[in-house]
Amino acid sequence: MGGVAGHMSHLYDNPNLKFSTMMDIFKAAASGELEGTEKTDGQNLFVGYNVVEGKAKAARNKSNVMQGGLDAAGLAKKFGGRDTVEKAFNESFQAFELAARSLPRKTQREIFGDGVNYIVFYNAEIQDPRNANVVNYDNKLLNNHRVGHFAVDLGTGEILDIDVGPSAVKLENSLDQMQQAIANQEFKVQINAIRRLDALADDRHLNYALERLNRILDDAGISDNQTVGEYVIARIIPAIRDKIKLPEEKESTLTILWVAVKQAFG
């Protein structure tokens, strides 16, 4: 995803995930029982609205968060001179500000915070056909994810340990009204839809995936009751021993450090 959101994890990024659970996920997906949201391919931006100032706020990094977010002028300056990237960020942010401003003051506070003590930032993705990454989209969207939102203390700049789930629900319930307010804008504001994967026509692809995964586990000498982290260790230790001889405890330390770095930076 990039930005302050960091990396959106794949299954294999979770070192505590058991391979048996991964296989259950494969089976649920193949049988049409798996629901989730699409991992969209855009530019990440955290968006909020300061009720007191009457301005939308944006954050791309931790510094932006600590200062309570950038307004439209600050965001434009940050991406100035970057052609389609600048246009995508500025136009989507303008649409979001108009949409948020259209809500009643009480609803604004419920969704975005009081603007004095704290503000809620929503994890969003800008999707613009003019500025595609890997996936080409047809529409211009500011697409809010269903996870990754947080509240920021406007006095200290610290992220607060509070549940913003109810605020996110209120945002979703207010989308129709927000969309009406920006009907003449090219960018639309939405929540990433929950989708159910279609079932596979037969089990050939599922069986192939499970067989390959079992072969990989067998090659590493571990079982499906072990975790992704244990698999990584089983692969790294021989590579370390092939290059350098270390005491067993130092091998373990080096392996743990490697896994930690991989988890932190992707």
Of 40, 15, 49, 71, the residue nearest 149 (C-alpha): 49
Q: What is the pLDDT of residue 12?
A: 78
User: pLDDT category, 1, cuts 50, 70, 90?
Assistant: very low
Structure confidence by residue, pLDDT tens digits, 228-245: 988 988 888 787 777 777
**Spatial distance between the Cα atoms of 209 and 96, rounded to a whole number of angstroms:** 42
Per-residue pLDDT at 262 exceeds 70: no
DSSP assignment letter at 79: T
Short-list 64, 77, 71, 40, CA closest to 150: 64
Contact between residue 153 and residue 145 where contact means Cβ atoms under 8 Å apart: no
Report the pLDDT value the prediction gives residue 195, as an integer from 0 to 100: 82
- Asked if pLDDT for residue 133 goes beyond 50, the answer is yes
Quick one: average pLDDT of 249-261?
Answer: 68
Over the range 33-54, which residues count as b (16 or more CB within 10 Å of their CB) and which as e? eeeeeeebebbbbbbbbbbeee
φ/ψ region of 76 (left if φ > 0, alpha if ψ in -120 to 50, else beta) reads alpha
Confidence of residue 76 (pLDDT cuts 50, 70, 90): very high
Residue of 151, 148, 8 whose CA lies nearest to 69 = 151
Model confidence pLDDT, tens digit, residues 164-220: 999 999 999 999 999 999 999 999 999 887 888 899 999 999 999 999 999 999 999
Whole-number Å distance between alpha carbons of 7 and 4: 9
The reply to whether the predicted model has a pTM over 0.75 is yes
* Tens digits of residue pLDDT in 4-47: 655 566 787 788 999 999 999 999 999 999 887 777 778 899 99
Residues recorded for the chain: 266
